[in-house]
Amino acid sequence: MTQATQTQTTTGLAPTFTHLVSKEGGVKYPLKALHVCEETFSPLEVAYDYDAIRAQVSRATIEAGPNSIWRYKAFLPVNSENPIDVGTGMTPLVKSTRLARRLGLKNLYIKNDAVNMPTLSFKDRVVSVALTRAKELGFTTVSCASTGNLANSTAAIAAHAGLDCCVFIPSDLEAGKVLGTLIYNPTVMAVKGNYDQVNRLCCEVGNTYGWGFVNINLRPYYSEGSKTLGFEVAEQLGWKLPDHVVAPLASGSLYTKIYKGFQEFVKTGLVEDKAVRFSGAQAEGCSPIASAFKEGRDFVTPVKPNTIAKSIAIGNPADGYYALDIARKTNGNIESVTDAEIVEGIKLLAETEGIFTETAGGTTVAVLKKLVEAGKIDPEETTVVYITGNGLKTQEAVQEYIGQPLTIEPKLDSFERALERSRTLDRLDWQQVLV
Ligand SMILES: Cc1ncc(COP(=O)(O)O)c(C=O)c1O
C-alpha cells in the first residue's frame, strides 16, 4: 500500500492525453490522482491533444484493434503498452424487433452491457481504465465507494491485476452484488448507511490512506471509460451517430461521457456531426436529476434514496448539473418511473428480447416506454437504449412476480396433466399446481 507517484510508460506513439483541466474555468493540473479544482471546486477532467489522436487513428486502425475497449486506446487516459484487458467492451448492439414492435418504434437498438466482461455490467469499462491508470501512478491498493456493480468490477479486475483491494458498499445491497464481490477475496466494508454516506466516508479514508479510489481521486481517468459506450455504438451503427439515446443516471457520469465520446468521434473525423438527443432514466425513489429537469432548475437538490433500483440510488449525484445541461441542450428528457414500472421494464425486456437486466436496465426500459407513450420519442428515430447491468445480480427485485416452475412426476401423464392445467391458468397461479 503506497502513496501515489506519477510514473508514465510510453508506447512509442505521442501521448494523446496532456493534462487535467477543471470543468469550470479551465484551470490546468498535472496528470496525477486529483479530482477537484482547488480554485473553482469544480470536477477535473482529462484533456487530450486531438491533433495527436487524429494522426494516430482511423476507422481502419480501430477496426483492426483488439475486440475490447482498448481498440479506442488513443481516446483513453493510459500510457501502458499492455493495459489491463479482461475482454471488457465490444458488447452486442442488438437491433430490436419485438420490443420495438411492442413500443411502436421502427429503429430501436439495445446496447447490451448485461453481458459485459468480466462482471456483467458497464462498470468493467471504467474500472479497466481506472486500474490501468492506478498502476501507472504507482498505486498498490485500490478502492471504491459502490452501489454494487462497481465493487464487483473493482474486486475482479484488481484480482486479475494483482492489486490489493478494499471496497465500500451500503450494508443493504442485494445478495448477488455482495457475493459477486466477496468471491474475488477483497476486503469488503459494508457500511450501515446509504451510498452518499459511503461516499463521504471514502473521501475521508482517501485523504488519510494513500489508496487509489477509482471513483474519487482517480475519477477523471475512471469516468473516461464510459466514453467507450458512445464509441462502440457509433462504430456498430456503421460509423454513424444515433438520433436519440436513453441511458440510466446515478451520478450522471456515464450519461455525460457517452456525450463526450460522440463529440470526440466528430472532432477527430470518425463520424459526421449530427444532433443526438440525450434522455436519462431515474427511479422515482431516487430522482434528484429528473426532479430538477422537470422543475426547470439547473441545480440538483439531494434526496434520500428509497427504491429497488439500488445500483442507481445516488441521492447527491456528482455530475447531475452536467447531465441536466446535456439533456436540455440536446432537446432530450429526464424521466423517472416507479418501482412497479421498473419490474415491468425488466420483464418486458426479458420477454421480448431475451435479455435479463437488473433494476437499472428495468428503469431505462420503463423510461423508454414512458417517453414513447408521451410522444417524446419519434418512432422513426434511431434510438439506442443502454442496458448497463445483469438481472442475475438483482433477483430479489423480480422474484415475486415471475411465478414458479410446474413440478411434475417423471411420467408422461403427469406432464400432460400439467400442460393442460398450464393452458387454463395464469402463469402466476402455476405455483399452486403440483401435478
Ligand atoms: C448498472 C448501472 N447502470 C448505471 C449506473 C449509473 O452510473 P453513473 O453513476 O455513471 O450515472 C450504475 C451506477 O452504479 C450502475 O450500476
State which ligand 1 atom lies nearest to the alpha carbon of 251.
Answer: 9
Of 254, 357, 363, 392, the residue with max ligand 1 atoms within 8 A of its CB, to mutate for a pocket test, comes to 254
Q: Exposed, middle or buried by CB within 10 Å (0-12, 13-18, 19+), for 164?
A: middle
Of 222, 246, 273, at which residue does a domain stop?
222
Q: Vertex 357, ends 169 and 293: CA angle to 5°?
A: 75
**Is residue 9 one of the residues assigned to a domain?**
no
Contacts of 209 (CB under 8 A, 6+ apart): 1, 141
Q: Which of 96, 91, 95 is nearest to 113 (CA)?
A: 91
- Whether 297 and 393 share a structural domain: yes
Q: What is the pLDDT along the chain (435 residues), one digit of tens a residue?
A: 333 333 344 456 778 999 999 999 999 999 999 999 999 999 999 999 999 999 999 999 999 999 999 999 999 999 999 999 999 999 999 999 999 999 999 999 999 999 999 999 999 999 999 999 999 999 999 999 999 999 999 999 999 999 999 999 999 999 999 999 999 999 999 999 999 999 999 999 998 999 999 999 999 999 999 999 999 999 999 999 999 999 999 999 999 999 999 999 999 999 999 999 999 999 999 999 999 999 999 999 999 999 999 999 999 999 999 999 999 999 999 999 999 999 999 999 999 999 999 999 999 999 999 999 999 999 999 999 999 999 999 999 999 999 889 999 999 999 999 999 888 876 555 444 444
> Ligand 1 centre and the CA of 49: distance in Å?
28
**Is residue 10 one of the residues assigned to a domain?**
no
**Is residue 8 one of the residues assigned to a domain?**
no
Of 122, 127, 216, 245, the residue with max ligand 1 atoms within 8 A of its CB, to mutate for a pocket test, comes to 122
Of 126, 251, 253, 308, the residue with max ligand 1 atoms within 8 A of its CB, to mutate for a pocket test, comes to 251
Q: Locate all alpha helices (DSSP H) within 277-432, ordered by sequence.
A: 288-294, 320-329, 339-353, 359-373, 412-424
State which ligand 1 atom lies nearest to the alpha carbon of 319.
Answer: 11
- Whether 130 and 24 share a structural domain: yes
> Ligand 1 centre and the CA of 421: distance in Å?
42
Q: Residues lining ligand 1, CB < 6 A?
A: 121, 123, 147, 149-150, 248-255, 311-312, 358, 360, 388-389
**Is residue 273 one of the residues assigned to a domain?**
yes
Q: What is the DSSP letter of 43?
A: B
- Whether 172 and 29 share a structural domain: yes
Report how far residue 81's alpha carbon sits from residue 66's, in angstroms, rounded to the nearest whole number: 13
**Is residue 178 one of the residues assigned to a domain?**
yes
**Is residue 301 one of the residues assigned to a domain?**
yes
Count of alpha carbons within 13 angstroms of residue 7, beta-carbon side: 12
Of 199, 222, 245, at which residue does a domain stop?
222
CB 400 within 8 A of CB 373: no
- Whether 102 and 209 share a structural domain: no
**Is residue 211 one of the residues assigned to a domain?**
yes
- Whether 73 and 132 share a structural domain: yes
Q: Is 294 left (phi over 0), alpha (psi -120 to 50) or beta?
A: alpha
- Whether 252 and 365 share a structural domain: yes
Which pLDDT belongs to residue 164?
98
Q: What are 59-86's pLDDT values in tens digits? A: 999 999 999 999 999 999 999 999 999 9
State which ligand 1 atom lies nearest to the alpha carbon of 250.
Answer: 11
Domain extent for 63:
17-86+121-222
- Whether 415 and 325 share a structural domain: no
- Whether 293 and 366 share a structural domain: yes
- Whether 136 and 146 share a structural domain: yes
Report how far residue 122's alpha carbon sits from residue 166's, in angstroms, rounded to the nearest whole number: 20
Q: What is the CATH number for 61?
A: 3.40.50.1100
Give the count of domains, the chain: 3
Of 206, 222, 238, at which residue does a domain stop?
222
Which pLDDT belongs to residue 2?
36
**Is residue 203 one of the residues assigned to a domain?**
yes
State which ligand 1 atom lies nearest to the alpha carbon of 226.
Answer: 10
- Whether 253 and 298 share a structural domain: yes
- Whether 149 and 35 share a structural domain: yes
> Ligand 1 centre and the CA of 216: distance in Å?
15
- Whether 295 and 315 share a structural domain: yes
